[in-house]
Amino acid sequence: MHPEIEDAVDRALAEDIGAGDVTSEACIPPEQAARGRFLARQPQVLAGLDLLALIYSKRGGVDALELRKRDGDRAEDGEVIARVQGRARTLLECERVALNFLQRLSGIATLARQFTERVAGTRCRILDTRKTTPGLRRLEKMAAAAGGVKNHRMGLWDAILIKNNHIAAAGGVRAALERAQVTGLSIEIEVRTRQELDEALQWGAKSLLLDNLTPAEAAEWVRVIAGRATVELSGGITLDNVRAYAETGADFISSGAITHSAPATDISFRLDLL
């Protein structure tokens, strides 16, 4: 497991359990055994299941864990997605952290799958963005990928994306591109006007970001670009209009909503004593 993920789990457990689960300690004998099951309470695409083993390993006292689904699988309402058996106190003190991760990440995977299904049959791929919960980016991007979305940049360090403020600070499209090209990294540049588009193509841009265009405007710009660069569309794109944008001929569509606005799915945990 990546250190960032282990750290996120450690922080979540410390935040919720603190010095100890006083309710479970007061009500339940330490030797009491139990089994629990995680149930989907709505149709959804799952993500975060592999975190269960890590969560329980941090607290101890779990004898068996059965994952009945994998990340990216669909689950229907009422379907059991995982079973666990062990010390009742452990199962209860880990319940909310486990559900928080599963519900949040499955919500992202579910919305990601909805976006990818809306553009099926086109040449367009859906991308995620850096609009993630602070500290949870790796997990949220893993969930987006489980839903079928292509991960874009993980951070500011792994690819160059020249946006409008970079262009302004650099002194223009040409200056920004010339300075970026010496890095040898992949470069994408945002263009907002036809003049910027022409200048970017003239100075060797191979990947373009077109922001806040209507589908009709985007289709016209794609025709002008004519395959000289790959095209990503962003801004104001929803489940209702993503198909229209995909049919413009763009290569990619990015949506921040996949990570910043995905509603958590409904998953419950049921406990039985042994």
Q: Which residues contact 192 (CB under 8 A, 6 or more apart)?
A: 164, 211, 212
Tokens at residue 208, please? Answer: 């373009």
Place of tokens 């499209």: 173
CA distance 34 to 36: 7
Burial class (CB in 10 A: 0-12, 13-18, 19+), 169: exposed
Q: Is position 190 annotated as part of the catalytic site? A: yes
Annotated catalytic residue within 150, 163, 174, 243:
163
Q: Is position 141 annotated as part of the catalytic site? A: no
CA distance 229 to 214: 20
Annotated catalytic residue within 131, 150, 179, 243:
131
Burial class (CB in 10 A: 0-12, 13-18, 19+), 35: middle
Distances (CA, A) of 107 to 111, 193, 213, 264, 267: 6, 36, 28, 4, 10
**Residue at 111: amino acid letter:** L
Q: Is position 188 annotated as part of the catalytic site? A: no
Q: Is position 4 annotated as part of the catalytic site? A: no
Annotated catalytic residue within 190, 196, 199, 251:
190
Q: Is position 128 annotated as part of the catalytic site? A: no
CA distance 65 to 48: 14
> Buried b vs exposed e over 152-161: b needs ≥16 C-beta within 10 Å?
bbeeeeeebb
CA distance 208 to 271: 52
Strand partners, 129: none
Do residues 70 and 23 lie in contact, with contact meaning Cβ atoms separated by under 8 Å? no
Give phi and psi for 68, each to the nearest 5. -95, -5
Annotated catalytic residue within 37, 58, 69, 96:
96
Annotated catalytic residue within 16, 79, 211, 247:
211
- Catalytic residues, which ones? 96, 131, 163, 190, 211
